[in-house]
Amino acid sequence: GNSVTQMEGPVTLSEEAFLTINCTYTATGYPSLFWYVQYPGEGLQLLLKATKADDKGSNKGFEATYRKETTSFHLEKGSVQVSDSAVYFCALSPMDITDKLIFGTGTRLQVFP
């Protein structure tokens, strides 16, 4: 079946530190992969996506590369800001008729000045 596993949080960093949040997946076929971000009191927002192996998604300084050989889609940012504090969700879509998303449990990031 399809599933997503991501590292547990919270991840606590100082401003300007390097960020990695690990995500691995199990899927049949060729899924698309996503990172969503949830700020306090808000819904989820799409941060970046990759639709095939070796694609790199990027947005707002965040990057993630679709690695089929390691079934991973780790999120990275070179220099985090306090405003990046949020919960980050890794997700996949099996790209069948529905586009439904399968989420990991989420990782809370806390950035301190």
User: In the structure encoding, which two tokens stand for residue 52, read together?
Assistant: 């095939």
By CB under 8 A, tell whether 33 contacts another protein.
Answer: no
Give Cβ neighbours of residue 15 (< 8 Å, ≥ 6 apart).
80, 81, 82, 111, 112, 113
Question: Is residue 93 near another protein by the rule CB under 8 A?
Answer: yes
For residue 9, the SS3 value is: coil
Check residue 26 for interaction with another protein (CB under 8 A): no
Closest-CA residue to 90 (of 41, 40, 26, 1): 26
Q: Does residue 103 interact with another protein by CB under 8 A? A: yes
Q: How far is the CB of 47 from another protein (least distance, A)?
A: 12
b/e per residue, 16-52, with b = 16+ CB within 10 A? eeebebebbbebeeebbbbbbbbeeeeebeebbbbee
Binding residue count for another protein, defined by CB under 8 A: 26
- Asked if 85 is part of the footprint of another protein (rule: CB under 8 A), the reply reads no
Taking the least distance from each CB to another protein, the nearer of 8 and 112 is 8
Task: Tokens 């989820």: give the residue.
Answer: 44
Least separation in angstroms between residue 50's CB and another protein is 11
Return the number of the residue (19 or 50) whose C-beta is nearest another protein.
50
Given the rule CB under 8 A, which residues bind another protein? 4, 30, 32, 36, 41-46, 49, 51, 89, 93, 95-106
